[in-house]
DNA sequence: TTTT
DNA sequence: TTTT
């Protein structure tokens, strides 16, 4: 009876910050920028481009994929949900933060990942040898022999 | 090169607050709740349901539609983008707020709107005589004679 | 590097047809109608409403949920992917069919399911005692103690 | 009361076929491929990758953008709706075709379009001088001086 | 803090 | 008929 879905295509602002909880679960966070194009209104007003920053949070397999393959500057497709939480800042003031909990990620910047060539943008026409995308759940819940 | 899209199905927390700017443009705001179901983890932990509140902002025709047809408790489909802004609160502390600027709305609670019967849930099987949904842009940009 | 996503809100055209494969996997199929509103073009042309029928296919837990809770006339949210296949019809002519393989379903028509009261629309403000929605995967892949 | 939305990220199979109707409206069509990754089931079965071909239809400004900027092999984000129609083939047999009527397109393959360098994949780090994406409606319906 |  |  409810839907909370976010889909973003944007650029990673910083290399992911990945940490592991006591139970071994990985959590990755990084900022992602989406930018609206500049345009001109009917009355001639110029509306400049505008960048929105999103706080992306990944868990488990997606976090591990991000740790290995996601870097500052990369273009990503992210699908997930909006989630807000509050915390007390260093001055004891209650702050709210809105995060995007991702459940799907597609990497739109291809990179070769062979030793010595890491971090290089993909050459056109050269196929990557490493997985360049990730859908963590895809195989995990396959409990029979049907290919869907 | 960028995508910033949000899709929500949830319930309206309060009647919309609608105001008109000096240039006649309508702006409507209201909170929308989406609720994740409770569930039980593999290890037996009960995860309770969790409600997320979204700050919805509508402009122009959609705001006018909301003023006429949207009420507290209604179930809505909202499509739009995430947009954050900052403001100084009454104590001079800088606050951030995240809003959903909607560009599409579908009303999933049907109501008759004839005089005297307003606010009644729709009878099953009876077609509504009033617009029960709104896509403000749909007709506005039709500048030729093609039906798409 | 690829995305194939469909999101529909529409009405079920017939009670689901559910069958069980030899390995016990359930498959449910039913038609779902989405309807574009009628509207008037700038040049005065009336564009009538138009109904699109979608062939929905559900697997496993979602199929079992559909068998129990989905009925003709119900309004559903369906999320999935487009998938086409060919078959030879009774005249040996090769036919193509496009289906929506659903991986998420939300039931937007609430029904009480107690004996004797089935098929009744939900009273406004009364919480359902039965699950009124389904996300089959949600608990299945939870392998640690984190509530996400 | 209805939603019919498709979102695709895939590769263009052929250069767009663009034609102009008598009233000057442009229509572009081309195939777009989305590919599901290969994966291994829990029981060890290898499921090969699978490509789905989508018939994309663009109108008006989006069609004109496609005519100028979209080429075979390009990666695109497409948002639109599912629409089916029937026709009689050359043998008088009634055939059905499902098309995606796009209302948004984002070009994920960047190309320089300066004279002499057209059709070349973008060099990493070199900014394109031409619009590399298109949202036809974005400016068209701006009828006041508000930047949204 | 990204990208075009 | 694309792409990885």
Per-residue confidence (pLDDT) for residue C120, from 0 to 100: 34
Diameter of chain B by CA atoms? 60
Where are the strands (E) in chain C, listed by range? 3-12, 17-20, 26-36, 39-40, 46-47, 50-59, 75-88, 94-107, 133-134
The DSSP H or E segment spanning B61 is helix B60-69
Residue A38 CB contacts under 8 Å (≥ 6 apart), including other chains: A46, A47, A48, A49
Q: How confident is the model at residue A140 (pLDDT cuts 50, 70, 90)?
A: very low
Query: CA end-to-end span of chain C, whole Å?
Result: 25
Q: Mean of the per-residue pLDDT values for chain D? A: 79
Task: Check: CB of residue B56 under 8 Å from CB of residue B99.
Answer: yes
The answer to whether some atom of strand F lies closer than 7 Å to the beta carbon of D76 is no
pLDDT mean over B82-88: 93
Q: Does pLDDT of A129 surpass 70?
A: no
Q: How confident is the model at residue A43 (pLDDT cuts 50, 70, 90)?
A: confident
Residues of C with Cβ-Cβ distance to B121 under 8 angstroms: 121, 124
Residues of C with Cβ-Cβ distance to D34 under 8 angstroms: 2-4
- The nucleotide whose C1' lies nearest the CA of D12 is F2
| Architecture of the CATH domain A6-108 | Beta Barrel (2.40)
Per residue in C85-143, pLDDT (tens digit) is 988 888 888 889 999 999 999 999 866 544 333 333 333 333 333 333 443 323 334 45
Q: Does pLDDT of B148 surpass 70?
A: no
Residues paired with residue B33 on neighbouring β-strands, in sequence order: B11, B53
B8: nearest CB among A4, A7, A8: A4
Domain boundaries, chain C: 6-108
Per residue in C57-92, pLDDT (tens digit) is 999 999 999 999 999 999 999 999 999 998 888 888
- The residue whose CA lies nearest the C1' of nucleotide F2 is D13
- The residue whose CA lies nearest the C1' of nucleotide F1 is D13
CA of B74 to C1' of E1 (A): 39
**Angle at alpha carbon of residue D12, lines to D7 and D13, rounded to 5°:** 130
Q: Tell me the nearest-neighbour CA distance from B88 into chain C, angstroms.
A: 33
Who has greater pLDDT, D94 or C8? C8
Distance of alpha carbon C103 from alpha carbon C81, whole angstroms: 8
Task: Check: CB of residue D122 under 8 Å from CB of residue D109.
Answer: yes
Q: Tell me which nucleotides of strand E come within 7 A of a protein CB.
A: 1-4
- The nucleotide whose C1' lies nearest the CA of A73 is E2
Per-residue confidence (pLDDT) for residue C125, from 0 to 100: 33
Q: How confident is the model at residue C146 (pLDDT cuts 50, 70, 90)?
A: low
Does any CB of chain C come closer than 8 Å to the CB of residue D108? no
Q: Count CB atoms within 10 A of the CB of residue B8.
A: 24
- DSSP designation for C35: E
- Within 13 A of B81's CA, how many CA atoms are on the CB side? 17
Instruction: Show the low-confidence residues of chain D (pLDDT under 70).
Output: 110-148
Lowest-pLDDT range of A22-26, A70-74, B117-121: B117-121
Per residue in C16-73, pLDDT (tens digit) is 999 999 989 999 999 999 999 888 878 888 889 999 999 999 999 999 999 999 999 9
The subunits that touch chain B, with at least 3 C-beta pairs less than 8 Å apart, are A, C, D
Write the secondary structure of chain A as one string of H (helix), E (strand) and C (coil): CCEEEEEEEEEECCCCEEEECCCCCEEEEEEEEEEECCEECCCCCEECCEEEEEEEEEEHHHHHHHHHHCCCCCEEEEEEEEEEEEEECCCCCEEEEEEEEEEEEEECCCECCCCCCCCCECCCCCCCCCCCEECCHHHHCCCCCCCC
Task: Check: CB of residue C3 under 8 Å from CB of residue C68.
Answer: no
Residue B70 CB contacts under 8 Å (≥ 6 apart), including other chains: B12, B15, B16, B28, B30, B76, B105, B107
Residues of A with Cβ-Cβ distance to D121 under 8 angstroms: 124
Q: Mean of the per-residue pLDDT values for chain A? A: 79
Per-residue confidence (pLDDT) for residue C85, from 0 to 100: 94
Per-residue confidence (pLDDT) for residue A131, from 0 to 100: 37
């Amino acid at each position: 009876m409810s839907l909370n879905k976010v889909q973003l295509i944007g650029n990673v602002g910083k290399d992911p910050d990945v940490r592991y909880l006591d139970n071994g679960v990985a959590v990755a966070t990084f900022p992602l920028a989406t930018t609206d194009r500049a345009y001109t209104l009917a009355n001639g007003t110029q509306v400049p481009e505008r960048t929105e920053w999103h706080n992306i949070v990944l868990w488990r397999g997606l976090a591990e994929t991000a740790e290995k393959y996601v870097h500052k500057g990369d273009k990503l497709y992210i699908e997930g949900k909006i989630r807000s939480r509050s915390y007390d800042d260093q001055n004891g003031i209650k702050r709210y933060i809105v995060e995007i909990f991702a459940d799907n990620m597609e990497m739109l910047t291809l990179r070769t990942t062979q030793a010595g060539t890491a971090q290089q943008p993909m050459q056109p026409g050269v196929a990557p040898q490493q997985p360049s995308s990730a859908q963590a759940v895809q195989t995990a819940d396959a409990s029979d022999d049907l290919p869907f």
